[in-house]
Amino acid sequence: MTITVYREFLFPALLKVVGVVEKKQTLPILGNILFKIKDEKMLLIGTDSEIEIRTTTDIERDDETEIAFTVSARKFHDISKALPENAQIHITIDDERIIIRSGRSRFSLGTLPAEDFPSLEITPADYSFTVEANFLKRLLKHTHFSMGYQDVRYCLNGLLLDLTSERLRCVATDGHRLALSEGPITCEQERQILLPRKAVQELIRVLDNYEHEVTVETSLGFCRFKIGETIFTTKLIDGQFPNYQRVIPKNMENTATFARKPFKEAMLRSAILSPEKQNGIKLTFTPGELQMEATNTEQEDAFEELEIEYNGDEEVTIGFNVVYFIDVLNALDCENVVMEFENSSSSALLRDPDDNDRLYVVMPMRL
């Protein structure tokens, strides 16, 4: 059988599924993409056995036989990427090999049996809701950087979708910082969905350039996102996300307001001489002024002064991880930032003064 597909349709489909395929895997077939040919459509499936992404593209073919095969994800992706944008691609399928032709180019790739390709066994959905893609993507981008990474508290290695009847709230924390972003939504009942770290990162990528509604469904241990022609399915983290409301400080005594861009630039300069492992930086607040200090193990130091608005009467010095602060400042896109804190040993709450739907908490550190 020979099928014909245009690169302008094939390559975007490959981009959606190839990201989930691990470069190193225990089973060779997990490095492949499954292709299923039916009617005038080609279904592409990629999986790492925890996440599965399915999408389709239009094709032309010379007979009506249904066929399936698997081929190396990276090799097929790299070949498609290297072809001209308007290329017409002809794929001939044999028993253990496919031949790819385009113009004067020819490539031969080995295949593995389609029946050996793993699939996620998912029970019927027990809960669903719809959400605008741009809204969901914005909430994920505002919070995903605070997820834990290979933390022994495995519930922190992901992101919580906390749904009420009127609000969708995304929350991520690694125990040292917390990010929260929320907005209005309509759903039938309250539900908490704990997405794994890799699933969140891939979901953000798949949502890129999609601007319509997304249908979200959950079943026992799984969550499925229907994104146009693409179906994104992931296993969920089996565990209880910590009570994040207890971490968010309230009624803080001291408030400082500063311009985001100059503060971020000063942080980036100071980070050059902060300790490599701790990334510690010292912030000293006095009325009208902020002093920023960083000292490394070689006794080299950086010092910055910034004008701020500060409502406190006494000087307060707090140590923070400079990387965590820079991540927050990158996530905020406002002109000014409000920082609330209690004393030299309290956590800091950072927010956009004109946006009550998101906030960030950074824990202090001893320097």
**CATH (domain of 191):** 3.10.150.10
In a domain, 9, yes or no: yes
Considering the domain architecture, whether residues 184 and 91 belong to the same structural domain is answered as no
Task: Please check whether residues 170 and 132 belong to one and the same domain.
Answer: yes
Whole-angstrom distance, CA of residue 164 vs CA of residue 257:
32
Place of tokens 């946006």: 355
Whether 131 and 111 share a structural domain: no
Give the pLDDT confidence of 297-349 residue by residue, as tens digits.
Answer: 888 899 999 999 999 888 999 999 999 999 999 999 899 999 999 988 899 99
Q: Do 132 and 111 have their domain in common?
A: no
Question: Mean pLDDT throughout 196-223?
Answer: 94
User: 355 and 334 in contact (C-beta within 8 Å)?
Assistant: yes
User: Which comes out higher in pLDDT, residue 278 or 70?
Assistant: 70
Query: Looking at the domain assignment, is residue 224 inside a domain?
Result: yes
Q: Which of 66, 88, 116 is the last residue of a domain?
A: 116
Last residue of a domain, one of 222, 246, 270: 246
Q: Are residues 263 and 238 in the same domain?
A: no
Over residues 191-216, mean pLDDT: 94
Average pLDDT, the chain: 92
Specify whether 236 is located in the same domain as 281: no
Same domain assignment for residues 80 and 152: no
Q: What is the mean pLDDT of residues 222-232?
A: 95
Q: In this predicted model, which residue has the larger pLDDT, 136 or 299?
A: 136
141 and 161, same domain (yes or no): yes
Q: Which of 116, 147, 181 is the last residue of a domain?
A: 116
The model's confidence at residue 232, banded by pLDDT at 50, 70 and 90, is very high
pLDDT attached to residue 110:
94
Q: Are 70 and 97 part of one and the same domain? A: yes
For the stretch 19-64, pLDDT in tens is 999 888 788 999 999 999 988 899 999 999 999 999 999 999 877 8
Mean pLDDT of 273-301: 90
The length of the chain in residues reads 367
Whether 367 is in a domain gets the answer no
Quick one: average pLDDT of 286-297?
Answer: 91
Phi/psi of residue 212, nearest 5 degrees: -110, -170
Residue 9 is predicted with a pLDDT of 93
Q: Are residues 81 and 138 in the same domain?
A: no
C-alpha–C-alpha distance, residues 278 and 348, integer Å:
18
* Average pLDDT over every residue of 137-150: 95
Region 252-264 average pLDDT: 94
Q: Where would I find the H helices in the chain?
A: 7-18, 73-82, 133-143, 197-207, 260-271, 322-331
Establish if 122 belongs to a structural domain: no
Question: CA 327, CA 303: separation in Å to the nearest integer?
Answer: 21
Range of the domain at 334: 254-362
Is the residue at 73 inside a domain? yes
**Which residues sit opposite 259 in a β-bridge?**
336
* CB-CB contact of 195 with 161 (8 Å): yes
Report how many domains make up the chain.
Answer: 3
Domain co-membership, 270 together with 288:
yes
Examine residue 226 and state whether it is found in any structural domain, yes or no: yes
CB proximity list for 273: less than 8 A, separation 6 or greater: 294, 295, 296, 300, 301, 302
275 domain residue, yes or no:
yes
Q: Residue 278's pLDDT is what?
A: 81
Residue among 28, 23, 46, 50 at smallest CA distance from 36: 46
Q: pLDDT at position 188, please?
A: 78
Distances (CA, A) of 82 to 102, 105, 242: 11, 11, 46
If asked whether residues 285 and 316 sit together in one domain, one would say yes
User: Per mean pLDDT, which range of 117-126, 200-209, 217-226 is the poorest?
Assistant: 117-126
H runs (alpha helix) in 163-215 = 197-207
| Residue 323 covered by a domain | yes
Which of 246, 237, 50 has the alpha carbon at shortest distance from 153?
A: 237
pLDDT cut 70: percent of the chain above it? 100
Least confident of 118-127, 266-275, 289-298, 338-347: 118-127
